[in-house]
Structure 1
Amino acid sequence: MPRPRLAYLYSRYPVVSQTFCDSEMLALEGMGFDLEVFSLNPPPDSFRHERLDRLRAEIHYPAPEEARNAQVKQPEFETQLGALIKDHDQRYGKSFKSRTRARNAWHFAPRLRALGVKHVHVHFANRATHSALFLKKLGFTFSFTAHAQDFMVDLGSDDLLREMVREAEFVVAVSDFSRSLLCQTCPGNEAKILRIYNGIELDDFPVAQPAASGSSLRLVSVGRLIEFKGFQHLIPSMTLLKQRGVNAELHIIGEGPARTELEGLITDAGLQQEVKLLGVRSQEQIKRELAEAHAFVLPSIVDSKGASDILPTVITEAMACHLPVVSTTVAGIPEMVRHGETGLLVEPKDEAGMAEALMQLAAQPELRVRMGAAGRKHADMLFALSVTAGALGENFNKVAQSSSQRVEAPIVYVMDDADAEASALHSIANEERLRIIAGGIAGAAAELSPALLNKLEWIPDAVVLESLWLRRTAWRHQIEKLRTALGDALDGEEFYRQARRAVWYAESLPKRGAKVVHAYRSDAVVCVWLVKKLTGLRTTAAIEDAPSLSRAALAKLILDFDLVSVSDEKLCAALPRGVEDTLKLQKPPTHRKLNLGPLKLKVRNTAPVEDRSVMERAWLEKLISLSQKPLHA
């Protein structure tokens, strides 16, 4: 029986510290689930873990704000979502931005339908889950994973949490601690609140040697440099170790607003040689640090706002490496670390107690080995992805409706910016086999028809493009060679802007079955040409009269295209082969001469309103026919 198609909805994706989300989705794909990922916002930076290259799901980002605002001016928006917006504004207040959450749902709903998705899963009880309440109003079902800080501190409304839980098909709590809190806050929903731990692929992690010889005890900690991670209490513990003659070195991996404070504590204590702040590291780099460690330490506390770690994935990763863990009794950590068996626990902020625990491990290498082995066995029982993702998948199978068939989109129109001229595509906007992707908006989004606004997809934020550009080294080198071969035909700054877009297209388009990529006008030709070089997909182009790209450049590039329509007479004359002018994109003359006796006047022409629907349909049919031919025919 085929698995239901699912979408994961995030407030922001990817986030470097939320590796459990990546692990979960990779495991579900391995089980046969077909996933899509939707993110309400771009990622916070361009850092990207290597293993995301294994994710088959396409990541969808929202349109520019102007386009989303234009969409919600459609009368159907108020008809379908207006009452719920008003209700939420009255019950929760304007600060919860119900209209924005509704706009999120309205914007993504057409794409979810086109992708055959009927069920959405969200991580964290936050603005994305609030948006999912509006998706439900539009005919989708949803579930969500609540962690603890999200609903305990960040959400800011127990009433909204209760509505989320009531309307969800099921709710995942990541620990018994979290489940207990949810059940207390949302009575009557106990049956749908399930404890499923965040799992990881344990065998992806190396086996450390916690008893390996060395002049000092090697400690590793991983986490954002924020208050509730407790690093400000770990540094005094390191001072106590040094005072008592215990040689120890500590590597802290992570970045955050507390860096300056921690650097000051390290300097004041004279621990510059013993404690190193390594900053952000990739997952593979973290694995190497763990493999070389004797023990893992995480001094979690409850911060001044009541936030804390709940079930830190980094502890599971350390256990996967056979490392003993020293941590605190905060929240769900005692569910992970069995005191005296898999590691040692102390009370939060107990700097002397933390130092004593570390001294115990420093003095007993055999204890480190025994605890590390017990920790791995404990992780195999509770945190293996085969266990956690398996339980989650069973619940998806129970509640998700049978999915619609995902419609492949063999034809992709690429436009540099959507403008009023793009309205000519209104007549083909409902064609399921067509995707139209724009880099931005030139002019007013209101000039575009509702059907076209709902059809349009958009190039993501520059931080997403930069992330892929940095990761795809081979493509980057190939593009550099192409740039060199073109010489001075193209402006460098514009070339590299288009190159970053081309890498994103090359990454994304094959996931939806693209076969023909069409440059809508000359300003998209460089990008589409690069996509052809990177992927081998067929490419076509429509060149308008007086093109925005130089004729010299176009004359070189479009020779590699499979089909072109050229409306510029000078460019046609420069081409070595005859080309058709199928789309008739000539610009009418702006003035005409008028002779009135001795007077010679120039009169501005009014361009006739032209119905291009027949030509655009005919052109699309040509592209569909081209897509059905064998690639090397």
Structure 2
Amino acid sequence: MSGAPRAAPASAAGPGALVLVTGQFPEPNETFIVREVGELVRRGVDVTVFSLLPPPSVIPDPEARALVPVAVYPPRPGRLLVEACQTVRRAPGPALRALGRGLRDVAAALRTPRLAVKQLAVLPLALAYGRRLPAPPCRLHAHFASLPTAVVRVLAAFRGTSYSFTAHAYDIHARANRRQLPARIAGADRVVTCTAYNRGLLASLARDRADAEKIVLCHHGLELAAYLPGRGRASELIVGGASLHPKKGLDRLVGACARLAARGVPFRCVLVGDGPERTRLERQIRGLGLAGRIELAGRLPHRELVALLRRAAVLAHPSVVDRRGSMDGIPNTILEALAVETPVVATRLSGIPEVVLPEHTGLLVEPGDVGGLTDALARILLDPGLGRRLGAAGRALVLERFDLGRNVERLARLLGGP
């Protein structure tokens, strides 16, 4: 797991090789990518993941650890420029074509200087990865329409081939990223996204009808055999989080917990994950006198998170739009909760209403509405029968639409893989 890159194995040269570019692999908050890669590998697809960052220092999830060998990681800083220069020397024509593509994309991002600097900074890595591409034919695909797609565009120019990408959440909702999307859609031969809301947004940004028709919906999936319905639930347990970022709206959940306490509604709340909001949430919890009732559990191994969801009376996911314009798509934690028959209280935002169907699989409130969130949580906490009904319907929806095997098979067909 060192920073030294792994050369692509000789077997990757076969037809149908797939190169996935992503920000960090495995990223603890992007378990859907880990599952997708694992399923592709199990199906015999020759996958190489180009990670833009080194792996995390600790990878608690065994499935994620097992996939580290399929990843190529950045060279150490002292080696990176050497490898980029070697690419230029050994393949000057393709390298200059790729460099031109990257510099034009940097120029297009100059309205947001920080984004332009990031794109410029990854150009040497993109060139270094160019010489590690499997022999053609191979599919070049990026996860996230932001920096990974900037890199995959450079790699496609180097190889003289097409590319595709999957769009998720912050990469298309953050305003700075959104300005880059029309050109990235136009240059791709396929654009995949995970919610109907996203598909509509991307189509509205496409330059013409032909570009809009490239955009297809393909849901992520769960390995459903690992998600058994919960038994012996803790009737007072609220679970929230998965990461502590502003768009998760967890300060609203803490506020709702204070109102539940004032009403005398029995509850205990566990907030899972880590992130930049942790200190602010700690202060808020102490200030409201809720230190004995709200626990910040930190980042949990995936199996422990699923076990916690199986015990919970309700998952609270009060997503909001953050200052950058970023928001969730269909949060993975919502799917996992529904899969184990845990009802969900969430906000009417982005792709969430596609799975949290009001009064059917969960309850929806408006973003930022602490009073509505309090009322919805109280309904489920005080009426276990309602929670059971919503949870059962939620599991049925996930079984129908979010099976990992079926959805990865569809993705492989969309990308022209084996």
- Asked whether the two chains share a fold, i.e. TM above 0.5, the reply is yes
Structure 2 residue identity aligned to 1:145: T
Q: Would you say 1:156 and 2:180 are equivalent positions?
A: no
**In 1, Cα distance between equivalents of 2:233 and 2:84:** 65
Paired letter, 2:217: R
Deviation (angstroms), 1:306 = 1.5
Task: State the secondary structure of the residue aligned to 2:368.
Answer: coil
The answer on whether the counterparts of 1:149 and 1:308 sit within 8 Å (CA) in structure 2 is: yes
Which amino acid counterpart does residue 101 of structure 2 have in structure 1? Answer: L
Q: Does 1:62 align with 2:81?
A: no
Distance (Å, rounded) in 1 between the aligned partners of 2:372 and 2:68: 46
Shift of 1:308: 1.3
- What are the residue-to-residue correspondences of 1:22-33 with 2, within 5 Å? 22-33=34-45
Structure 1 CA distance, aligned partners of 2:281 and 2:411? 39
Is 1:396 paired with 2:408? no
Task: Indicate if the aligned counterparts of 1:145 and 1:171 stay in contact, CA closer than 8 A.
Answer: yes
Residues 41 and 374 of structure 1: is their aligned pair in 2 closer, same or farther, counting only changes over 3 Å? same
CA distance in 2, matches of 1:39, 1:86: 21
Match of 1:323 among 330, 338, 342: 342
Equivalent of residue 100 in structure 2, options 83, 108, 118: 83
Deviates most, 9-18 or 67-76: 67-76
Corresponding residue of 1:223: 242
Alpha-carbon separation, structure 2, partners of 1:104 and 1:311:
31
**Which structure 2 residues correspond to residues 77-156 of structure 1 after superposition, within 5 A?**
79-93=96-110, 96-97=116-117, 99-113=120-134, 118-139=138-159, 140-153=161-174, 155-156=176-177
- What per-residue deviation string (whole Å, max 9, x for no partner) do you get for residues 146-175 of structure 1? 1132122175352x3222111222111111
Q: 1:136 to 1:55 in 2, by over 3 A?
A: same
Q: From the superposition, tell whether residues 5 and 83 of structure 1 become closer, same or farther in structure 2 (CA, over 3 Å).
A: closer
2:338 alignment partner AA:
M
Residues 105 and 70 of structure 1: CA distance in aligned 2, closer, same or farther (over 3 Å) = same
- Measured after TM superposition, the shift of residue 325 of structure 1 is 0.7
Q: Say if 2:355 is the partner of 1:336.
A: yes
* TM-score, normalising length: structure 1: 0.59
> Among residues 4, 10, 18, which one is paired with 1:6 in the alignment?
18
CA contact (8 A) 2:99 2:154 kept: no
Q: Say whether the 8 Å CA contact 1:92–1:157 is kept in structure 2.
A: no
Inter-partner Cα distance in structure 1 for 2:318 and 2:138? 42
- Pairs within 5 Å for 1:238-249: 238-249=257-268
Partners in 1 of 2:103 and 2:239 — Cα distance? Answer: 50
Q: Which moved more, 1:292-301 or 1:89-98?
A: 89-98
Counterpart among 210, 215, 223 of residue 201 in structure 1: 223
Deviation at residue 57 of structure 1 after TM alignment:
5.3
Between the aligned partners of 2:66 and 2:59, the Cα distance in structure 1 is: 16
Partner-residue secondary structure (3-state), 1:141:
coil
Amino acid of the structure 1 residue aligned with 2:192: V
Cα distance 1:256–1:38, how it changes in 2: closer, same or farther (>3 A)? same
1:85 Cα shift? 4.2
Alignment partners' CA distance in 2, 1:40 and 1:293 = 36
Secondary structure of 1:46's counterpart equals coil
8 Å contact from structure 1 (residues 300, 309) kept in 2: yes
Q: How does 1:319-468 map to 2 (within 5 A)?
A: 319-397=338-416
- 2: CA distance between counterparts of 1:232 and 1:32? 44
| Contact 1:174-1:196 within 8 A present in 2 as well | yes
- Compared with structure 1, are the counterparts of its residues 255 and 167 closer, same or farther at alpha carbon in structure 2 (3 Å cutoff)? same
Question: Which position in structure 1 is the counterpart of 2:53?
Answer: 41
Q: Shift in Å at residue 30 of structure 1?
A: 2.6
User: Using the alignment, how far apart are the partners of 1:169 and 1:283 within structure 2?
Assistant: 34
Q: Partner of 1:112: helix, strand, or coil? A: coil
In 2, Cα distance between the equivalents of 1:296 and 1:85? 43
State the TM-score, normalized to the length of structure 2.
0.88
Match of 2:194 in 1: 174
Cα pair 2:107 2:116 within 8 Å, conserved:
no
Report the equivalent of 2:62: 50
Q: Tell me the distance in 1 between the aligned counterparts of 2:77 and 2:218.
A: 36
Instruction: Indicate how the Cα distance of structure 1 residues 288 and 79 shifts in structure 2: closer, same or farther if over 3 A, else same.
Output: closer
Count of paired positions: 393
Contact 2:190–2:415 (8 Å) recurs in 1: no
Larger relative contact order (Cα-Cα within 8 Å, sequence gap ≥ 6):
2
Q: Give the partner amino acid of 1:109.
A: G
Which whole-Å deviations, capped at 9, do the CAs of 1:117-155 have from their partners, x for residues lacking one? 621221111112111111111224321111132122175
Q: Which amino acid aligns with 1:150?
A: D
Change (3 A) 1:344 1:72: same
Report what 1:20 is aligned to: 32
- Secondary structure of the 1:272 match is coil
Deviations 1:247-294 (A, max 9, x none): 011111111111111111111222122111100100011122112112
CA contact (8 A) 2:22 2:52 kept: yes
Q: Extract unaligned runs of 5+ from structure 1.
A: 403-633
C-alpha deviation, 1:324, in angstroms: 0.7
Q: Max radius of gyration: which structure?
A: 1
Distance 1:346 1:112, change over 3 A: same
Which segments of 5 or more consecutive residues in structure 2 lack a partner in the other structure?
1-13
Letter aligned with residue 323 of structure 1: T
